[in-house]
Amino acid sequence: MITVRWGALALAVTLNAPQLAHSYPTRPIRFILPVAAGSTSDTLGRLIAKEMSEYLGQPLVIDNQPGAGGNLGVPIAARAAPDGHTLLLVSSAQAISPGLYPKLGYDLQRDFAAVTQLTAGQYMLVVHPSVPARSVQELVALARRRPGQLLYGSAGIGTGTHLAGELFKAAAGVELLHVPYRGMGPATSELLGGQLAVIFSGLPSGLPHWKSGRVRALGVTSTSRSPAAPELPTLAESGLTGFEATTWQGLAVPAKTPAPIVQRLKVEADRALRATPVHEKLAALGADAVGSTPEQFATYIRSETVKWGRLVERIGLRLD
């Protein structure tokens, strides 16, 4: 009986796909942001929500659910009805979490349907001006001469800024001493004060310090140069072949959400990304608009999860 019911439902959805997409949504959409208010991801989520609300004809109601790297808010979305009226902002943090937490309580690929990747960003590799390295190659050589002596800071254990450093160590074959902080603000302050040698900084926070001469930028962690700083080489072109450590955000809905609804959300998210105010704000945030198909985004999430899972296993990192 269960198989018959699901088959009948699938047939009904297929036959009525145009009507379903046209009539959706029928009420306000709960938009779960598993991040703190005021964060970069929160700013992006609110920006996208404003535009999509106009196109969908219903408000996207922001629901911040921060904590544990997003692992408090994501399960709430996973348990929601798969009718398109609960939307989740997912990010690179959710690709890292499966390797870090043995009892995560959800599976991003099993419990959700990918909608679209919204943005892609990168980190800047920056050093204090006192560090005698003016290129990635010189920093690698310096670290090899001083194994374990150079301090690099991060926003905390298991964060993207931490794992970017670990990926750098693995790719370059060097040993840096990790110093975790509670957020990138304190880590950046320590770098500016000379207590740290290296950090992987987000572009929005790192660019002003670099342009003012308070730090020295050596490269970016994406596979192509950033339009915000085209003079900076990528780490890959600086000798670390294949190096990539990116930040990204995207949209997902609970698994079994009808495909016409997923497609409608994807179309309206793409429209939002093309809107001039969104483009301008993304540039200020150091992010590039992407806009992918649900299938492309699902594949990307899988590849990112595998990549960071292997690194976390290699360094023996686990969080309770």
DSSP result, 239-264: T-TT---EEEEEEEEETT--HHHHHH
Q: Could you report the per-residue pLDDT of 96-126, keeping only the tens digit for each?
A: 999 999 888 899 999 999 999 999 999 999 9
**Predicted local distance difference test score (pLDDT) of residue 15:** 44
320 in a structural domain: no
Q: Are residues 85 and 35 in the same domain?
A: yes
Give CA–CA dist 203/207, Å, rounded: 6
Last residue of a domain, one of 220, 237, 258: 220
Q: State the DSSP string of 50-73.
A: HHHHHHHTS-EEEEE---GGGTTH
Q: Are residues 115 and 57 in the same domain?
A: yes
- Non-local (6+) Cβ contacts of 280 within 8 A are none
Q: Are residues 183 and 202 in the same domain?
A: yes
- Non-local (6+) Cβ contacts of 218 within 8 A are 125, 126, 127, 133, 134, 135, 136, 139, 232, 238
Residue 276: give the domain boundaries. Answer: 26-121+246-315
**Predicted local distance difference test score (pLDDT) of residue 255:** 98
Encoded tokens for 78 = 């996973």
**Predicted local distance difference test score (pLDDT) of residue 25:** 97
279 in a structural domain: yes
Residues in the chain with pLDDT < 50? 1-15
**Predicted local distance difference test score (pLDDT) of residue 18:** 62
End-to-end C-alpha distance for the chain, whole angstroms: 41
Amino acid at 112: F
CA 281 to chain centre: 17
Q: Is 108 left (phi over 0), alpha (psi -120 to 50) or beta?
A: alpha
Q: Are residues 131 and 105 in the same domain?
A: no
Q: State the DSSP string of 125-138.
A: EEE-TTSS-SSHHH
**Predicted local distance difference test score (pLDDT) of residue 1:** 34
Amino acid at 319: L
Q: Are residues 275 and 206 in the same domain?
A: no
Q: Are residues 131 and 100 in the same domain?
A: no
Q: How are beta strands 151-154 and 177-180 bridged, if at all?
A: parallel
Task: Please choose, from the candidates 194, 186, 196, 191, the residue with its C-alpha nearest in 3D space to the C-alpha of residue 151.
Answer: 196
301 in a structural domain: yes
Q: Could you report the per-residue pLDDT of 130-175, keeping only the tens digit for each?
A: 999 999 999 999 999 999 999 999 999 999 999 999 999 999 999 9
CATH number at residue 257: 3.40.190.150
Q: Are residues 127 and 216 in the same domain?
A: yes
Give CA–CA dist 229/124, Å, rounded: 10
Last residue of a domain, one of 203, 220, 237: 220
- Helices and strands of the chain, counted as H and E runs: 13, 10
290 in a structural domain: yes
**Predicted local distance difference test score (pLDDT) of residue 80:** 97
Q: Are residues 53 and 197 in the same domain?
A: no
286 in a structural domain: yes
**Tokens 């690929």 belong to which residue?**
109
Q: Are residues 40 and 58 in the same domain?
A: yes
Q: Are residues 155 and 216 in the same domain?
A: yes
Give CA–CA dist 128/216, Å, rounded: 6
Instruction: Provide the domain count of the chain.
Output: 2
Q: Are residues 140 and 107 in the same domain?
A: no
Last residue of a domain, one of 185, 220, 255: 220
251 in a structural domain: yes
What is the enclosing helix (H) or strand (E) of 306? helix 294-315
Q: Are residues 56 and 89 in the same domain?
A: yes
pTM above 0.85, yes or no: yes
153 in a structural domain: yes
228 in a structural domain: no
